Amino acid sequence: MTVTRGARTLLALAAVAVAFAAADTYVVVLALPDMMASAGISVEELQRAAPIVSGFLLGYVAVLPLIGRIADLRGRVPVLVASLVVFALGSLVTALAYDLPSMVVGRFLQGVGGGGLVPATLALVADLYPPRRRGVPLGVVSAVQELGAVLGPLVGALVLAVADWRAIFALNLLVGLVLAVAIRALAGRGGPTGTPAGPAGRFDVLGLLAALTTLAVAALVFLRPAPLLRDLFWGQFWIPFVPDGRWLSPVGVAAVVLALLTLLRWSLARRPLVDVRGWGRSMREADLVGSLLLAAVLAGVILAFATADPEVQVVSDRAPFYVGGSLVALVALVVHLRRADSPLLPRAALRARPAWGAMVVSFLVGAALIAALIDIPLFARTTVYPDSQLMAALVLVRFLVALPVGAVLGGWLLRLAPAGVVTAGGMLLAATGFAWMSTWGLDSLEQATATVPLLIGGLGFGLALAPVSAAVLAATDPAVHGVASALVVVARMIGMLVGISALTTIGLRRFYAEREAIPPLAEVCGAGGSCPAYVEALKEAGIAQEQTVFLGAAVCALLAGLLALVLLRGAATRDVLPGDALRAGTG
């Protein structure tokens, strides 16, 4: 199989899109305090802002299998373009958001679009390369995805240094649209993979004008320009029919009507700007009912963990309600998949052990990885950088820069060793790095040797990314590569949620035990004055908490490696010379 230059360029653009969407996952961490202030939420009410993060996560995970299945049916290029457009639309809504619900809607749309890029890109690799040559390109895709975790905080810091948080999402809007146009133009009518990118023919000027008019009027609803509001005539159009009904005002109703007319145009036009009828057929063929049931299952799990207060609980107080709903949806999903003529996940699609085993391993990789992403900066803030979030983030960057290197190396090593062996080796390195971190003390980060476990851990996680993806692609039929890739990503994201809740709770129990062992303040310091000894004792208790989390992550990494040896055995992911494999991925 010969991969053309156009196909490689298309894959490169898709990889850039994946990296950019991944960066958006992390950039919100820096922007969150300013976003909370804009929504009228104080810093003390951090829990109220959780939907800004969980909304993105819910959009990213809940509809991912549906998007992956549509990519199998409709083609990779159309899904890539549509995902970028949805991501850009979510960025626009977030940039214009005026309260918490509008922010959550925007972040949800960003999650849907950003998540849809991943399975389509991984499936595109499988379309372009035979199993024995997928390792390096899969490693490259995994590398740029993790590179987004490095670039996200840096880009966010740069933008926030010269503008407010809305500029971040305005930049997302611009880049998303540019990438969508570039991918669509490169693919042409048939695209390098032979999948149609949409109906051809005369450009739908009327449909474009209708969409732009709708966006312009909707933007007026969001922005409510002060000069127009103060005008005696124009201000009447913003007066709501009911109290607090911004969208139930003349201009709000006009925006809704224009949106409906735009959809009507796209539904009835012979060659519409957006093929609404075609996408509707694809959603039905992809088993929309099954997708909604699976989304309900995942949503219950996400909400049970994402809405918990990790200081006192693993799952939220409403977890019985969320998990109960998930179980009901799961039963309905199983019944539906048995009866449906064309189910979301075709029968026996994941029967091969490496197929479902990749998801188990991915879950545990996510559970261990989240400890690094969250607790390395926390350890830095607890010890040497108590007053600098930026310096604490730069400590994490030492870990993250090794991830892309490991991802490419892991893909290359698939030509020398089975997927399970490469994954197990990577997880052993990750566990070694975590075990080393669990010995860190108050001044460890001031020593040059602290960089070694960070690099070892990042390299180890990187090594595991491409083999897991390669195993599931090698063990499944090409007709389900999109949905299979999506489920691997979903497993890792759920693992991250469960991991952060469980490990944080375990670590906090260690912290509380250490704190209770500290003598009362009066005994340590006497009456009045400052007391460095007591502060030092509290820091030691915080360090004990992070050490416990690192040890727990090491156990998760070791378990992932052991299971990889067993479950990924037999995946046909190698059989070419390393030099040929490297040229296939980079030439």
The rounded mean pLDDT for the chain is 82
pLDDT for position 259:
93
Cβ atoms within 10 Å of 569's Cβ, excluding its own:
15
pLDDT for position 587:
29
Whether the pLDDT of residue 586 is over 60: the answer is no
pLDDT for position 88:
93
- Where exactly are the structural domains of the chain? 1-198, 356-518+531-587
The winner for highest mean pLDDT among 3-7, 20-24, 45-49 is 20-24
The more confidently predicted of residues 317 and 368 is 368
User: What's the pTM?
Assistant: 0.76
Taking only the tens place, the pLDDT of each residue in 410-455 is 888 888 889 999 999 999 999 999 999 999 988 888 888 999 999 9
What distance in Å separates the CA atoms of residue 196 and residue 193, rounded to the nearest whole number?
9
CATH of span 356-518+531-587? 1.20.1250.20
Nearest partner of 399 among 153, 579, 570, 220, judged by Cα: 153
What is residue 587's three-state secondary structure? coil
What distance in Å separates the CA atoms of residue 18 and residue 12, rounded to the nearest whole number?
10
pLDDT for position 565:
94
Whether the pLDDT of residue 72 is over 90: the answer is no
pLDDT for position 415:
83
Taking a C-beta distance cutoff of 8 angstroms, is the pair 213, 207 a contact? no
Nearest partner of 126 among 474, 467, 412, judged by Cα: 474
pLDDT for position 457:
94
Whether the pLDDT of residue 393 is over 80: the answer is no
Taking only the tens place, the pLDDT of each residue in 511-565 is 788 777 777 655 556 555 556 666 677 778 888 888 999 999 999 999 999 999 9
Please provide the size of the chain in residues: 587
pLDDT for position 459:
94
The residue-averaged pLDDT of 341-362 equals 86
pLDDT for position 581:
32
Taking a C-beta distance cutoff of 8 angstroms, is the pair 427, 555 a contact? no
Q: Which two tokens stand for residue 58?
A: 């819910």
What distance in Å separates the CA atoms of residue 442 and residue 456, rounded to the nearest whole number?
21
Looking at CATH, the fold of the domain delimited by 1-198 is given as Growth Hormone; Chain: A; (1.20.1250)
Taking only the tens place, the pLDDT of each residue in 462-488 is 999 888 988 888 888 888 888 888 888
Pick the range with the lowest mean pLDDT from 41-55, 201-215, 225-239, 254-268: 41-55
What distance in Å separates the CA atoms of residue 18 and residue 552, rounded to the nearest whole number?
30
Q: pLDDT band for position 89 (50/70/90)?
A: very high
The more confidently predicted of residues 334 and 149 is 334
Q: What are 230-237's contacts with CB under 8 Å, separation 24+? A: none
Taking only the tens place, the pLDDT of each residue in 138-195 is 777 877 777 776 677 777 777 877 888 889 899 889 999 999 988 888 876 444 444 4
Amino acid in position 214: T
Amino acid in position 57: L
Whether the pLDDT of residue 68 is over 90: the answer is no
pLDDT for position 178:
92
Same fold, 1-198 and 356-518+531-587: yes
Return all residues near 8 (Cβ < 8 A) that are at least 6 apart. 128
The residue-averaged pLDDT of 196-207 equals 64
DSSP letters of 372-386?
Answer: HHHHHHHHHHHTT-T
pLDDT for position 188:
66
Nearest partner of 408 among 464, 369, 454, 362, judged by Cα: 464
Taking only the tens place, the pLDDT of each residue in 237-274 is 888 888 777 888 999 999 999 999 999 999 888 888 88
